[in-house]
Amino acid sequence: MTFDKKIFIDQIGVEERIARFNTRSIKKASKIQGLRLALQMIDLTTLEGKDTPQKVRQMCYKAQHLADHLQEIPNVAAVCVYPNHVKTAKQALAGSTIKIASVATAFPSGNSSLKIKLQDTRLAIENGADEVDMVISRGSFLEGEYNRVFDEIASIKSACEKQARLKVILETGELGSLENVRKASDIAILAGADFIKTSTGKIQPAATMPVTLVMLDAIKDYYESSGKMVGMKPAGGISTAKSALQYLVMLYETLGEAWMSNEWFRFGASSLANDIIMQLGKEQLGVYYSKDYISID
């Protein structure tokens, strides 16, 4: 398979489309519905060197009790942890519908051998992960070794078999251009990604609306040519309810109703959950409560 075809992205056109998305007027009822939907699309995440079993258990508790004092607040979609913490998360979430995602493949750098990446992936799945978030080899991509990137993704997808869905992280902040974002999206999709994901959250810039729109367009083009749906996950830097609603407007107007669920769209943004809960609390209780009322982790 060859990926050497030149790609051109109209950056001004992308920015003009985003400006239109961001000026959409959202009525109160639609806003509340959108916030509830956004909350259901969040992957709560802890991916630090200082992670402990207790920290993971605390995050899992938060995932299940985000707003017990409010009425009809949905759960988040998933929690995301390192492979060695998957068992802890699985125990903490027993009986819950919340998914367990695990990063793998030498996250966040991706600088390791395919053998190690496959071992990392299998460990996550054996420990009970429902989803695997892998990173592509950006160095290989930037060297033009597109088939190597494709083959690695396809190998990780094969290791997931039917046990776990695969999210492929492009780390768009290191790719250098929207054209590269589109090419990396196409490679990931054709290699079997169930989701394509912007970022690890460790590199800036992380998720941006221009990058996400280019990735959504890649998903749209693939769907129109194949009839197969692929999910999308912007991750990193999305921290406000207002931003989440803007992303959902962009999602709806680019891909349509079929993608408006956590089966096909996720936010990788733990702090976003806190702001959404505050906004929904304001709608139900009539006042904002302190940000300290909700745990950070």
Residue 72 DSSP code = S
Q: Say which CATH topology domain 11-293 has.
A: TIM Barrel (3.20.20)
pLDDT at 270: 81
In the prediction, which pLDDT does 290 show? 59
Q: Which residue has the tokens 């902040």?
A: 173
Mean pLDDT, the chain, integer: 93
Tell me which of 90, 157, 183, 197 is the catalytic residue.
Answer: 197
Q: Which is the catalytic residue, given 133, 186, 194, 275?
A: 133
Side-chain-side CA neighbours of 288 within 13 Å: the count stands at: 8
Res 284: pLDDT: 79
Single-letter residue type at 289: Y
Q: What is the pLDDT of residue 1?
A: 74
C-alpha distance across the termini of the chain, in Å:
43
Any idea where the domains of the chain sit in the sequence?
Answer: 11-293
pLDDT over 70 (residue 288): no
pLDDT at residue 57 greater than cutoff 70? yes
Residue 291 has pLDDT above 90, yes or no: no
CA-CA distance, 242 to 31, in Å (whole number)?
9
26 pLDDT band (50/70/90 cuts)? confident
Q: Is 229 a residue whose pLDDT tops 90? A: yes
pLDDT score of 282: 83
pLDDT higher than 90, residue 191: yes
pLDDT confidence of 283, banded at 50, 70, 90?
Answer: confident
Q: Which two tokens stand for residue 47?
A: 């991916």
In the Cβ-directed half-sphere of 269, how many Cα atoms lie within 13 Å?
A: 29
Residue 272 pLDDT greater than 70, yes or no: yes
How many Cβ atoms from other residues are within 10 Å of residue 295's Cβ? Answer: 12
How confident is the model over 98-128, as pLDDT tens digits?
Answer: 999 999 999 999 999 999 999 999 999 999 9
Of 24-28, 75-79, 88-92, 148-152, least confident by mean pLDDT is 24-28
Return the pLDDT at 2. Answer: 79
| 133 carries an active-site annotation | yes
Q: Per-residue confidence at 24, pLDDT binned at 50, 70, 90?
A: confident
Structure tokens at 164: 């776990």
In this predicted model, what pLDDT tens digit does every residue of 232-250 receive, in sequence order?
999 998 999 999 999 999 9
Q: Which of 117, 183, 233, 275 is catalytic?
A: 233
Task: Provide the pLDDT confidence category of residue 289 given band limits of 50, 70 and 90.
Answer: low
User: Looking at residues 167-191, what average pLDDT do you find?
Assistant: 98
